[in-house]
Structure 1
Amino acid sequence: MGRWEPGARERLQRAALELYVERGFEQTTVAEITNRAGLTERTFFRHFADKREVLFYGQAELLETGVYAIAGASETTAPLAAVVEALQLIAARFEERRESARQRQTVIAANPGLQERELLKLASLASAMADALRGRGVAEPTASLAAEAGVAVFKVAFEHWIGEPGERTLSDLIRDSLDHLRAATAG
């Protein structure tokens, strides 16, 4: 594949993930990633700030998806239901990338720094969704609780989704996790 061919970002992501799985995150260099992708280091840094960002690329787009979904939900939609609707849209972006999501989580689980970055990503998602709920007039602490609960539901569902060999979708598992949360809080 020539350096000029389209899809450089995707090629870099694929090469990086392969190397992270094979050699480990810490042991992989940007030079090795670009060599495997058939690209230059300059191209790498045009797309990513560092080798960590390969794993977290697209976070802003996910936040935007969640915020717009909450902002666009019907006025009669309960706060947690609006958050879950947003998470369902986010989940749809993952459905065709199950194997790469599994590999990504394996890499993250093996590195405390990456685990911390993943937790920050989830905290940012909860914060953005809480802000979107407040923008709809949802008062505190309801906005924060709904957003945090939604992120917890998503996290549990995602862990099951990447851990299960089955055919269940991430959306199905989000609904199941929400049912478990409701059961846990039933009076």
Structure 2
Amino acid sequence: MARWQGGAAERLKEAALELFQIQGYDGTTVAEIAAAAGVTERTFFRHFTDKREVLFFDQREFERTFLDSLPEGTADPMALVAAVLGGAARLFGEERRAWARARQSVIGGNAGLQERELLKLSLLAVSLTRELTERGIDPISAALAAETAVTVFRTTFTAWVADAETRPFPAIHDEVLGRLRALYSI
């Protein structure tokens, strides 16, 4: 009997992404992903509800990173946006850039995955808005701050995964936030 190997979820993510790039998302089956990772389909479904979730497995961690970055006692919406982006940068170190680029290329080639990515960001904005209103920020300012944070994040992320980009995530989000501030003064 073969010895059990740990790290099945990570192997499944890597195998899925590689197959999605080679065969396309629609051309890849769960059975192929499981076989490439050296596990059974049953093991796949212990970790993921479907093949789409391989690309979106960390929604709770993703949201939690943003929410945990909100400072206490601050009511300045732009300071909150900057703090949230600074916290999010922890998720986007150089060691993740190649995977993020590959993931984004798969998502960019599939309308259903693009829709799921937009839903992920929309849910983030809802969570941020709720958290800000619970901290006493009026609902309109909370919504504007949350949507701004998501917009700046999305713009930063898009630049960060661009083929020729080498700057670290925080440097890009500082630039994007600076450009947003410059728009206010026009």
Q: What TM-score do the two structures reach when normalised by structure 1? A: 0.93
Q: Percent same amino acid among aligned pairs?
A: 47
Match of 1:153 in 2: 152
AA aligned opposite 1:78: D
* 8 Å Cα contact 2:84-2:149 kept in structure 1: no
Q: Does 1:181 align with 2:180?
A: yes
State the alpha-carbon separation in 2 of the partners of residues 84 and 25 from structure 1: 35
Moved more, 168-177 or 109-118: 168-177
Match of 2:51 in 1: 51
Q: Does 1:127 align with 2:126?
A: yes
Runs of 4+ in structure 1 off by over 2 angstroms are 164-167
* 8 Å Cα contact 2:75-2:137 kept in structure 1: no
Report SS of the residue matched to 1:52.
helix
**Quick one: structure 1 residues 34 and 7, their matched pair in 2 at CA, closer, same or farther if it must change by over 3 Å?**
same
* 8 Å Cα contact 1:79-1:143 kept in structure 2: yes
* 8 Å Cα contact 2:67-2:131 kept in structure 1: yes
Match of 1:92 in 2: 90
AA aligned opposite 1:47: H
Matches within 5 A, 1:1-187: 4-70=4-70, 73-76=71-74, 78-95=76-93, 96-187=95-186
Task: Report the Cα offset of residue 164 of structure 1.
Answer: 4.5
Moved more, 14-23 or 158-167: 158-167
**Quick one: structure 1 residues 164 and 129, their matched pair in 2 at CA, closer, same or farther if it must change by over 3 Å?**
same
Task: Report the Cα offset of residue 26 of structure 1.
Answer: 0.3
Task: Report the Cα offset of residue 166 of structure 1.
Answer: 3.8
Q: What TM-score do the two structures reach when normalised by structure 2? A: 0.94
User: What is the number of equivalent residue pairs in this alignment?
Assistant: 184
State the alpha-carbon separation in 1 of the partners of residues 174 and 180 from structure 2: 10
Task: Report the Cα offset of residue 171 of structure 1.
Answer: 1.2
**Quick one: structure 1 residues 58 and 147, their matched pair in 2 at CA, closer, same or farther if it must change by over 3 Å?**
same
Where structure 1 has 5 or more consecutive residues not aligned to the other structure, the ranges are none
